[in-house]
């Protein structure tokens, strides 16, 4: 029974030189396999395996990026919902309240009670994704800050009303036209 190489030579599909080179390559691989303990290295299989590993790594990175984008959208939706549900109405606001946002002084209209609670730290100013300033309770502002700290514009430290006996400036008169 003739080998495949002999059959290809008889059919004229392969010349003697190519057959000799193929035989030598096969002998080299067999010799290398004996020296390394029987494991032959196929270059095509190694390249295919390397490509498969690279594809798996690329897919993993893309999946992480998609998950991160999804998580950011979820956080933005939570912040938006917290603001919309808990914002205080300012329909009857007549007092301008000034605060600093991105190194610029901004103003919003508030009521007298809202201004008092803002200065005492019971209320906070947050910004929605539509660049609109809203007033929310301090607890809600803290929840928003946990999710997205950049959404909280102003959150004063909470100060409870001082006892008039403990007030160091009780002796000083404040002009009626001074608002801070």
DSSP assignment string, the chain: ---HHHHHHHHTSS-HHHHHHHHHHHHHHHHHHHHHTS----HHHHHHHHHHHHHHHHHHHHHHHHHHHHHHHHHHHHHHHHHHHHPPP-TT--EEEEEEETTEEEEEEE-HHHHHHHHHTSEEEEE-TTS-EEEEEHHHHHHHHHH-GGGEEE-PPP-PPPPTTT-TTTTS---TT---
Q: Where are the domains of the chain?
A: 47-162
Cβ neighbour number for residue 180 with a 10 Å cutoff: 6
**Averaged pLDDT for residues 83-96:** 88
| pLDDT for the residue 61 | 95
| pLDDT for the residue 161 | 58
The pLDDT of residue 179 is above 80 = no
The pLDDT of residue 163 is above 70 = no
> Which residues face 136 on adjacent strands?
124
What is the CB-side half-sphere exposure of residue 32 using CA atoms within 13 A? 10
| pLDDT for the residue 8 | 80
Q: How confident is the model at residue 4 (pLDDT cuts 50, 70, 90)?
A: confident
| pLDDT for the residue 55 | 94
| pLDDT for the residue 178 | 66
Question: Encoding tokens for residue 53?
Answer: 């590993």
Name residues whose C-beta falls within 8 Å of residue 84's C-beta, 6 or more positions apart in sequence: 128
The Cα–Cα gap between 141 and 124 comes to 6
Residue 129's nearest CA partner among 91, 89, 72 is 72
pLDDT tens by residue, 142-152: 999 899 888 88
| pLDDT for the residue 156 | 78
| pLDDT for the residue 47 | 84
């Amino acid at each position: 029974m003739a080998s495949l190489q002999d059959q290809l030579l008889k059919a004229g599909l392969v010349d003697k030189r190519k057959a000799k080179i193929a035989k030598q390559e096969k002998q080299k691989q067999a010799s290398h396999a004996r020296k390394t303990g029987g494991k032959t290295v196929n270059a095509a299989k190694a390249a295919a395996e390397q490509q498969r590993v690279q594809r798996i790594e690329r897919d993993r990175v893309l999946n992480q990026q998609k998950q991160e984008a999804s998580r950011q959208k979820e956080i933005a939706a939570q912040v938006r919902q917290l603001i919309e549900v808990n914002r205080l109405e300012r329909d009857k606001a007549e007092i301008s309240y000034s605060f600093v946002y991105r190194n610029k002084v901004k103003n919003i209209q508030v009521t007298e009670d809202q201004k008092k609670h803002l200065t005492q730290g019971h209320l906070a100013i947050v910004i929605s994704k539509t660049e609109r300033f809203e007033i929310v309770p301090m607890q809600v502002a803290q929840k928003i800050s946990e999710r997205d700290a950049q959404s909280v514009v102003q959150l004063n430290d909470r100060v409870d009303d001082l006892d008039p006996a403990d007030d160091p400036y009780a002796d000083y008169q404040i002009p009626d036209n001074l608002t801070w």
